[in-house]
Amino acid sequence: MNTNTRVALLLACLAACVTGVQAADGDAIAPFFGFMGAMASIVFSCFGAAYGTAKSGVGIASMGVMRPELVMKSIVPVVMAGVLGIYGLIVSVIIATNIHPTGYTLFQGYAHLGSGLTTGLAGLAAGMAIGIIGDAGVRANAQQPRLFVGMILILIFAEALGLYGLIVGLVVASTAEGKGKGLCSPYNE
């Protein structure tokens, strides 16, 4: 397929999308953005939770060979990483329950997309931080038990990043409700 054919195909797809947006009953493409926000929230948060769990688990397994009595005490990073998935789940459910087939505007769709991306990417970043801290922290704690409190404090600060994303995601999602009527499309009453 040559370049001209690809450009023509792209323009045809864009024209189909533009005419779809101008549906008389509201913004036909707006729910796509809302569902993408719900997807981004849960997927990215779970990526962060999975990475944090896996990376911390590697450190726990490595440390547990020499100090098996510390394994249960070292589960804290895994639990904290798992909470990030719950943050994404909360925002995804809130977004998904507020998407309606009619009367859903682009303003609401963009707000829900922003909400989901905020929560999901903050969860991903927090999960990466928790994984790295957990891996190094449990290994260091096995060698020097006085490091446990410091590790927990650092983990709390990393978890706070995910909590900030949850709070901002909830605020952004709540701004979409009841707003945006008539702002993004001349077809909304």
- Residues across the chain: 189
- Mean pLDDT for 152-178 is 94
Mean pLDDT, the chain, rounded, equals 87
Q: What is the pLDDT of residues 88-102, one digit of tens each?
A: 999 999 999 999 888
Handedness of CA 104, 105, 106, 109 (dihedral sign): negative
pLDDT at 162: 96
Residue 114 pLDDT more than 70? yes
DSSP collapsed to 3 states, 41-106? HHHHHHHHHHHHHHHHHHHHHHHHHHCHHHCCHHHHHHHHHHHHHHHHHHHHHHHHHCCCCCCCCH
Domain edges within the chain: 28-176
- Name the CATH superfamily for 28-176: lithium bound rotor ring of v- atpase (1.20.120.610)
Instruction: Using DSSP, state whether 23 is helix, strand or coil.
Output: coil
pTM of the model: 0.80
Residue indicated by tokens 């990043």: 161
pLDDT band at 76 (very low <50, low <70, confident <90, very high): very high
In whole angstroms, give the CA distance from residue 71 to residue 100. Answer: 47
- Which comes out higher in pLDDT, residue 86 or 7? 86
